[in-house]
Amino acid sequence: MTDIISTLKRLIHLGETELSVEQRINHWLKNAKRILTLVNANPALAAATLHIDNDLPKGTQQLLLLALFGKLCRFNDHYLQHVLASMLATLWISNSNTPRDNIPDVLRFLRKHNLAIWLDTIKLLKAFQTEKQANYVTDNRLNLAQRLCLLAGIFAKEAKKADYKTVFSLVTCRLPAHHRHHFSALIPLFEELLPGAKVYAEGVPGALVDIQQHHGFVFMLSNGDEDGKWLPLSSIRAPVPLSLPFEHFVALYTDTAQARVNQGGTPFLPHTFAIQHPPKALITIIDELQKRDVVIEQLCEKIEKVPTFNHFLIHTASQDNRLQLPVKSIKQAVLTYGIERVGDMLIQFALIERLTQHQFPLIGMCKQMTLLACSFASHFAQIIESKFTPQSAALTMTFICTPLFTLPGFKVSQSLPVDLTKTVSINNAFKVKTDTQWLAIASELAGSWHQSSTWRAVIHQCGKLTSEVPKSIQKEQAIMVLSFALAKACLFNQDVYSLLQDIKIKTLLTILGIQREEITVALESNGHLLFCPLPV
């Protein structure tokens, strides 16, 4: 127990005076990673500081709560690490022992490396130092990360932790409408019981030590040798809001570590799904689709076992049939599209779900670029005779766009670093540091998601001039390159006319056998996607 308390008190280390600017930035990032790892593994410790009086440094409490709030709001880990590091930088600047001469060098470094996330947090320095942070947290000009930093600061400074629910109610009712839905993820912290609370369970007094989404681990007096047990949260009561001293809670948390191990429970923090591999349920469906004689009933049965797939297919089929008739069963949806197309649709749906599961400033722009490029690819696949169906073209384009969601450089930027000089180059479409080429990342992921060798070859060939591509997949490659270039031009410089004058684009149109008028039709049919959302 003493080890945990001392670790928490020493969690923040702002760095030695003699560190260079780059060393200092890396030191804060490493420290932020430690905080994030701690909260990932022990969210109960961070949640307990919300309502239990303790003698932890205010900066430590603020960072623990910021990490907890960020995880509940589904911030991407790399993005959240930078937000936490920016908070450490702000604490360093506000520290009276910090040499004032060193601060301008740090600010210049942040500006030079486009670390606007850090500068946004540092701008709140005066707000962090005032006793009335609640007056700032509702400002319309703040982004979500700034708002969470201030909210964490409010609860870290709060002298009477017993008032934390009232404070949250007063703050959230004044929040701007465009951010309120994000804060709904925090509501369980202020409505449900938190670790460290004194409770009654099964008619016996006890203490809530840990929580999952639907269960709590309660330590209570028992005739047996049990250290406690997991019980449904609905069966745990706290007639009077009381809590353990923080040191006692940490001691209980440490002593019950083995007893709290529960393989079947749903963790308190939102679950993260791996992007590198498709979900197991999808693999069984893909395996079923690849059989020579697919039994429709067995395929439908496997799809029905996954509620998200079920809802997606029925809803999409209802929208897509010519008469707009409501589709009421999976079998009807499968027959509407055909077996091959259903497989592509489910893979694309699952892939986009995983790519967009976490928040970062550019997620809206990355998603819009992907959707528009996929829609163009689907449109051209429909009017051009090729190996592509509209669904397989959209799926292949989704894989080509995956680096937008996976490269770390995009997580800490506030504007997409578009290279408009490279009109048809996918590998060099964005100025972002990466050790692996863009299309190599996309091709590897396509292989991990059980894509055919043909589609992986198309992705690989997108790095070449279309005239150098084998005739067998030339049209498919041309569709991908044209769709990507068109989406980029529409969203980022709105100059499709100049794009169509490019000799490489003219070559693509010749190979595909389409006229420029068809580009106009494609633009008109995708008008609802021709915008780039602002980061909030």
Domain assignment present for residue 503? The answer is yes
pLDDT less than 50: residues of the chain: none
By CB atoms closer than 10 A (0-12, 13-18, 19+), residue 178 is exposed
Domain assignment present for residue 73? The answer is yes
The reply to whether 413 and 427 lie within a common domain is yes
pLDDT score at 512: 93
Structure tokens at 357: 């599961």
The reply to whether 35 and 112 lie within a common domain is yes
The reply to whether 52 and 141 lie within a common domain is yes
Domain assignment present for residue 115? The answer is yes
The reply to whether 479 and 524 lie within a common domain is yes
The reply to whether 345 and 432 lie within a common domain is no
The reply to whether 379 and 346 lie within a common domain is no
The reply to whether 309 and 427 lie within a common domain is no
Give the pLDDT confidence of 49-61 residue by residue, as tens digits.
Answer: 999 998 889 999 9
The long-range contacts involving 218-227, CB below 8 angstroms and separated by at least 24 positions, are: 219/252, 219/256, 226/259, 227/255, 227/256, 227/258, 227/259
Give strand ranges (E) for 279-425: none
The reply to whether 351 and 365 lie within a common domain is no
Beta bridge partners of 210: 217
Domain assignment present for residue 466? The answer is yes
Please identify, among 191, 214, 246, the residue that sits at the C-terminal boundary of a domain.
191
The reply to whether 422 and 400 lie within a common domain is yes
Please identify, among 323, 339, 357, the residue that sits at the C-terminal boundary of a domain.
357
Specify the number of domains making up the chain.
4
Neighbour count for residue 154 (Cβ, 10 Å)? 20
Give strand ranges (E) for 22-80: none
Alpha-carbon torsion (9, 15, 17, 18), positive or negative: positive
- For 97, the domain range is 4-191
Structure tokens at 200: 């009654």
The reply to whether 98 and 147 lie within a common domain is yes
The reply to whether 147 and 225 lie within a common domain is no
Domain assignment present for residue 480? The answer is yes
Domain assignment present for residue 317? The answer is yes
Domain assignment present for residue 261? The answer is no
The reply to whether 298 and 391 lie within a common domain is no
pLDDT score at 83: 97
Domain assignment present for residue 263? The answer is no
Task: Sort strands 204-211 and 198-201 into parallel, antiparallel or unpaired.
Answer: antiparallel
pLDDT score at 67: 97
Q: Collapsing DSSP states into helix, strand and coil, what is residue 197?
A: strand
Please identify, among 175, 191, 207, the residue that sits at the C-terminal boundary of a domain.
191
Neighbour count for residue 267 (Cβ, 10 Å)? 13
Neighbour count for residue 470 (Cβ, 10 Å)? 10
* Angle value at C-alpha 415, between 412 and 416, nearest 5 degrees: 95
